[in-house]
Amino acid sequence: MKYEIKGGNLPVAICHLEAGETMITENGSMSWMSPNMEMETNAGGFGKALGRMFSGESIFQNFYTAKGGEGMIAFASSFPGSIVPFEIAPGKEMIVQKSGFLASEKTVELSVHIQKKLGAGFFGGEGFIMQKLSGYGVAFVEFDGAVLEYDLAAGQSMVLDTGYLAAMEASCKMEIQQVAGLKNKLLGGEGFFNTVVSGPGKVWIQTMPINKVAGAIRPYIPTGN
């Protein structure tokens, strides 16, 4: 499989498949494709389907296979931002934000990742449940806004505001830290908690979390009578 990412901050991943190659995506993620791409919808087992549901994805996945020759299929982002390709392999698993998975090669497995510390889930901005990408192959993940990558050494940490953590290597750890001081909590406008990510491993931070966008436009949305 070969791919190209186009579209700037309204990105699309265009994948070129050899005959017989298969891509997996969630319901509604396919944007356009060549006519020889054959689709099959499959839940992949009750346990896996239930895990995907809790991680913000559909119970069912669509499998697109190039039949009778080379095929092409495109997956567009659902929100202005970035599409990042990750090379997944044993020892190179990724933890990504809820609903971040866009598409992947058939050999990549999408599963649920539950934060070990309950507080990290409820207050960290990414939810108690995140997504884990394992197996091997290329996976495409969509982020909100631009994305910045940081490489944290062992013992090195970074403090993030709610919602900015987009992805991290499975070797990283995520915890929650209270904002110091009652006045800071109540008047600082940053909330009560921050997300603390520690290395070793790489971290991807998004610049325009969709929850921040929703909060910014909410006052301008007319309400019904």
| Domain annotation for the chain: domains and CATH numbers | 2-215 (3.60.160.10)
| Chain-centroid distance, C-alpha 94 | 9
In terms of DSSP bridges, do strands 193-198 and 137-144 run parallel, antiparallel, or are they unpaired? unpaired
The overall pTM is greater than 0.85: no
Q: pLDDT value at position 182? A: 46
Q: pLDDT value at position 155? A: 92
Of 88, 98, 1, the C-alpha closest to 52 is 98
Query: What are the counts of helices (DSSP H) followed by strands (DSSP E) for the chain?
Result: 4, 19
Would you write out the chain's pLDDT as a tens digit for each of its 225 residues?
999 999 999 999 999 999 999 999 987 789 999 999 999 988 654 445 455 454 445 667 899 999 999 999 999 998 899 999 999 999 999 999 888 999 999 999 988 877 655 554 454 444 457 889 999 999 999 999 999 999 999 999 999 887 899 999 999 998 877 665 444 444 444 555 778 899 999 999 999 888 777 777 878 888 765
Sheet with 30-33: strands ordered across: 2-6, 12-17, 71-76, 30-33
How far apart CA 109 and CA 132 sit, in angstroms, is 8
Q: pLDDT value at position 96? A: 94
Q: Which two three-digit tokens encode residue 186?
A: 């109540």
